[in-house]
Amino acid sequence: MKSFLDKITMTAVPYLGYLFIRFLEKTMRISYVNFENIWKDWQDNKKCVLAFWHGRLMMMPLMYKGNGITVLVSQHKDGELVSRTMKRFNIDSVRGSSTRGWFGGVKGLLKDARKGRDLAITPDGPKGPRYKAQIGIINIAKNTGLPIFPIAFSASKKKL
């Protein structure tokens, strides 16, 4: 019975997550602040590493306007849900984190960078410490030669 529920969960949750993010997108007025440099780089087909805090993951698919990106996602079960949700936004993923499968994750990112893809990483990771970047993103940028662009998403209540 558990495997049947797992299959339903792994199919339904990413789809519902995708619909929910798209619904939120339609109900918000989105402003991009200080994105001029990265948009210019994307128009010039330059690649980069996007860095965003782990707690800001949900709306990140709306931020990307480049031509192909691969995101590093945890190997845990919740990472599979994230990976499948991102796929609905045409965002590829490689699996690994600082605590499990890090070598495979780094290897996958480097491979995709050689293919000319942008990369996305949460430098504080799921285990934290929260809002403290770990050395992994620096090593990825150093090995690929790609610049790091920190990005964030914030929301506030509509002012009446």
Does pLDDT of 48 surpass 90? Answer: yes
Q: Does some domain include residue 15?
A: yes
Tokens of 31: 């402003």
Q: Does some domain include residue 67?
A: yes
Cα–Cα distance list, 55 to 1, 58, 154 (Å): 32, 8, 11
User: pLDDT of 98-157, one tens digit each?
Assistant: 667 677 888 999 999 999 999 999 998 767 788 888 888 999 999 999 999 999 888 777
Count of Cβ atoms closer than 10 Å to residue 145 Cβ: 8
**Half-sphere exposure (CA, 13 Å, Cβ side) for 88?**
20
User: pLDDT of 50-63, one tens digit each?
Assistant: 999 988 888 899 98
Q: Does some domain include residue 159?
A: no
Q: Does some domain include residue 20?
A: yes
DSSP class of residue 117 equals -
DSSP class of residue 157 equals P
Q: Does some domain include residue 117?
A: yes
Q: What is the number of domains present in the chain?
A: 1
Domain with residue 43: its CATH number is 3.40.1010
Residue among 120, 58, 114, 61 nearest 93 (CA)? 120
Domain span at residue 144 reads 2-29+36-150
Q: Residue 155: what pLDDT?
A: 79
